[in-house]
Chain A
Amino acid sequence: MKRSNLPFTEDVLVKKLQQREEQAFHLLYDQYSPALYGVILKVVRDEEAARDVLQDSFVKIWRNIPSYDAQKGRLFTWLLNIARNTAIDAIRTRHSGQSIQTSTDIVDIVDQHQQAYQPAVETLDLPDKVNQLNPDRRMVIDLVYFYGYTHEEVAEKLNLPLGTVKTRVRSALQELKKLFGT
C-alpha cells in the first residue's frame, strides 16, 4: 500500500535519505508523517505537544538516518520507534514531578483510550480491523507500545500475573498479525 506510492524502492529512498536529498525528505515526510503524527497524538493526547514531538522526531530522524541499517529492521518501524520514544519521553518529562503512574491515572489513560480515541481513528477503513481486536489485548498493546509501560508495570496496574501479561502481549500481536495478514 505505502510502497506503491513511492516512485522508487525503499532501498533507493534510504540511500537518497542518507545523502540528505531534499526530494527524498519530501517523499519521506509525505509518506509517513500522518502515521507518525497519529501515533504521537495517541501518546501525548495534546495537539500542541504533538506538533513539538513530531518536529523533534523528524530532527532526530534526519540526524540519525545515516546510521539506519535496513538489515536490522524495516524503515517504517524504525521511524515509528523514534516518534514513539520521543513522544513517551515528552510525556514523562511533562509529568515528572507529578506521578503519572498512579492507579487513577492509568484508569484515566485507559478510559481516554477506550472512549476518546476509538472514534477518533475514522480516517481509513483500517479502524474496523483495529476494533476487531479483543479489547483486553488491545489495551495491553496500547499500554506497552504507546505508553511505554514495562510488562511488570502493566501487571501491577491491571492487577494481573506477569505471566498473563506476557501471554497477552504475545497473543495480541499474533492477533494483530492475523488481522493485517500480509
Chain B
Amino acid sequence: MNTKEYIESGILEEYVLGTVSPQEKREVECMSSIYPEIRQELDTLSAAVEQYAQALRRDPPTDIKEWLLKELEFGPPEAEAVEESNPTPLLTNEENTETPIRTLNSREDAFDSRPTFRVTWLVAASLGLVVLFFAYFLYSQLQGSQQTLSSLRNSNEALTEEVRVLRAQQSQADQTLAILKEPGTRVIRLNPTDTTTANLATIYWNASTGQVNLEIDSLVRPPETQQYQLWAIVDGKPVDAGVFDVGDNTRVVQQAKKFLKADAFAITLERRGGSPTPTLSTMVVVGNVTS
C-alpha cells in the first residue's frame, strides 16, 4: 500500500469534512490505525478544522449549562450506578412513587442491574446463534465445493480416458496411413465367405517389398484355444502367412512373412499355434489380389 498516494487521494479530506460513505469511513479508520503517517495527516487535518471551528466561537447562553446539569445523569454508568444515580431519576419520579404498578414502564426498570444481565445474556445468545448459523453456512459451502470437486475429478478421469483411446486410435490411423502412402501398396478387402457381414479385415500388400500388413476391422475375438491364421494363396496353393490375435487395441498387424507374389489372401480359424494346412471349413474371409 502506497500511503502517500492514499493521503493524496483526497479521501482523508472528505473524511474530515464528513462526506464519506459509511464504508469509506471504516476504511479510513482502519487505514489510519495501521499507518502512523495516515493517522498523522488525519490528525493534522482534523486539527485544522478544529482551529477553524475555534475561530467561530461564540459564548452560548448561560442557562444552557444549568439546564444540562439538571437533565444529564452523572455518576458511573450501569450496575454500580444504582445508588448514586438515584437522585436524578427521583426528580422525575416523585409523582410516580405512590403508584406501585410499574409493569408498563420499562424505562425505569432499565436502571436496575438485572436487565443489564438479561441484555448481556441476550447479546451472548444471539451472538452464539449468529456463529452457529455462520458455521452451518460454511459447512454447507464446504460440502457443496466437495461435491463439485469430486464431480470435476470424475469428468476429468473420463476425459483422460477418452483422450487415451483417441490417441491410440490416432496412432493406428497414422500407421495405416503410413502404410498406404508407401508406393506399391495394394489394398485387398477380405470379404466374409458367408456374405453376412462386410469388411472384416483388410490386407495392405506391397508387391515390391513383399510386406504384408493386416488390418482387423471387425473380426470376432476367438476362444482362447483358437487363433486366426492368415494364408496367402500363391499359385493356387495356400501358404502360411502367420497367426495373429485379435486384441483390444491392436488393429494393424504386421506379418513377419513376406510375399513377392500372391493371388489371394484368406483367414481361417485354427487351433492355437496355427496349422500347416488351412482348414477350409473354418475359412472366415478371402480376398483376391486382382479384385
Nearest chain B CB to A147 CB, angstrom units: 11
Nearest chain B CB to A45 CB, angstrom units: 12
The residue among A20, A41, A71, A130 with the most chain B CB atoms within 10 A of its own CB is: A20
In the complex, the answer to whether A80 meets B77 with C-beta atoms within 8 Å is no
B74 contacts which of A21, A66, A123 (Cβ < 8 Å)?
A21
The residue among B17, B43, B45 with the most chain A CB atoms within 10 A of its own CB is: B17
A145 contacts which of B17, B65, B74 (Cβ < 8 Å)?
B17
In the complex, the answer to whether A85 meets B17 with C-beta atoms within 8 Å is no
Rounded to whole angstroms, the CA-CA distance of A76 and B57 in the bound complex is 13
In the complex, the answer to whether B74 meets A22 with C-beta atoms within 8 Å is yes
Within 8 A of B (CB), among A77-96: 77, 80-81, 84-85
Rounded to whole angstroms, the CA-CA distance of A74 and B41 in the bound complex is 12
B-chain residues with CB within 8 Å of residue A50 when the two chains form the complex? 60
Rounded to whole angstroms, the CA-CA distance of A19 and B75 in the bound complex is 6
B-chain residues with CB within 8 Å of residue A84 when the two chains form the complex? 18
Contact code string A1-17 (vs B, CB < 8 Å = 1, else 0): 11000000000000000
In the complex, the answer to whether A74 meets B45 with C-beta atoms within 8 Å is no
In the complex, the answer to whether B50 meets A77 with C-beta atoms within 8 Å is yes
Nearest chain A CB to B32 CB, angstrom units: 8
- Secondary structure type dominating chain A contacts: helix
* A68 interfacial by beta-carbon distance below 8 Å: no
In the complex, the answer to whether A126 meets B60 with C-beta atoms within 8 Å is no
Rounded to whole angstroms, the CA-CA distance of A123 and B77 in the bound complex is 38
A177 contacts which of B48, B55, B71, B74 (Cβ < 8 Å)?
B48
Rounded to whole angstroms, the CA-CA distance of A170 and B11 in the bound complex is 9
In the complex, the answer to whether A182 meets B47 with C-beta atoms within 8 Å is yes
Rounded to whole angstroms, the CA-CA distance of A165 and B61 in the bound complex is 37
In the complex, the answer to whether A169 meets B49 with C-beta atoms within 8 Å is no
Rounded to whole angstroms, the CA-CA distance of A29 and B64 in the bound complex is 10
In the complex, the answer to whether B48 meets A169 with C-beta atoms within 8 Å is no
* A127 interfacial by beta-carbon distance below 8 Å: yes
B56 contacts which of A1, A35, A169 (Cβ < 8 Å)?
A35
In the complex, the answer to whether A39 meets B53 with C-beta atoms within 8 Å is yes
Known contacts A73-B46, A170-B10; is A37 also within 8 Å of B60 by CB?
A: yes
Rounded to whole angstroms, the CA-CA distance of A34 and B60 in the bound complex is 6
Nearest chain B CB to A151 CB, angstrom units: 6
Known contacts A21-B74, A35-B57, A71-B33; is A170 also within 8 Å of B64 by CB?
A: no
Rounded to whole angstroms, the CA-CA distance of A39 and B86 in the bound complex is 35
Rounded to whole angstroms, the CA-CA distance of A167 and B10 in the bound complex is 8
Rounded to whole angstroms, the CA-CA distance of A81 and B56 in the bound complex is 15
A-chain residues with CB within 8 Å of residue B10 when the two chains form the complex? 166-167, 169-170
B57 contacts which of A19, A25, A34, A74 (Cβ < 8 Å)?
A34
In the complex, the answer to whether B67 meets A145 with C-beta atoms within 8 Å is no
* A179 interfacial by beta-carbon distance below 8 Å: yes
Rounded to whole angstroms, the CA-CA distance of A132 and B43 in the bound complex is 22
In the complex, the answer to whether B48 meets A176 with C-beta atoms within 8 Å is yes
Nearest chain B CB to A179 CB, angstrom units: 7
Within 8 A of A (CB), among B5-42: 10, 13-14, 16-19, 29, 33, 42
In the complex, the answer to whether A37 meets B54 with C-beta atoms within 8 Å is no
Nearest chain B CB to A75 CB, angstrom units: 10
B-chain residues with CB within 8 Å of residue A182 when the two chains form the complex? 44, 47
* B236 interfacial by beta-carbon distance below 8 Å: no
Nearest chain B CB to A141 CB, angstrom units: 7
* B145 interfacial by beta-carbon distance below 8 Å: no
B43 (CB) vs chain A CBs: closest residue: A74
A-chain residues with CB within 8 Å of residue B57 when the two chains form the complex? 34-35, 37-38, 123-124
A-chain residues with CB within 8 Å of residue B58 when the two chains form the complex? 34, 37-38, 41, 120, 123
| 4 A-B pairs with the lowest CB-CB distances in the bound complex, closest first | A38-B56, A126-B55, A180-B51, A34-B57
Q: Taking A22-B75, A29-B65, A124-B57 as given, write out 8 further A-B residue pairs in contact, using a Cβ cutoff of 8 Å, ordered by the A residue number.
A: A20-B73, A35-B50, A51-B64, A84-B18, A173-B17, A173-B45, A173-B48, A177-B48
Q: Can you identify 22 A-B contacts, CB atoms within 8 angstroms? A: A20-B74, A21-B75, A22-B69, A25-B68, A36-B53, A41-B56, A41-B58, A42-B56, A51-B61, A51-B64, A54-B64, A55-B67, A72-B33, A76-B46, A124-B55, A126-B51, A127-B55, A141-B17, A144-B19, A169-B13, A169-B19, A182-B47
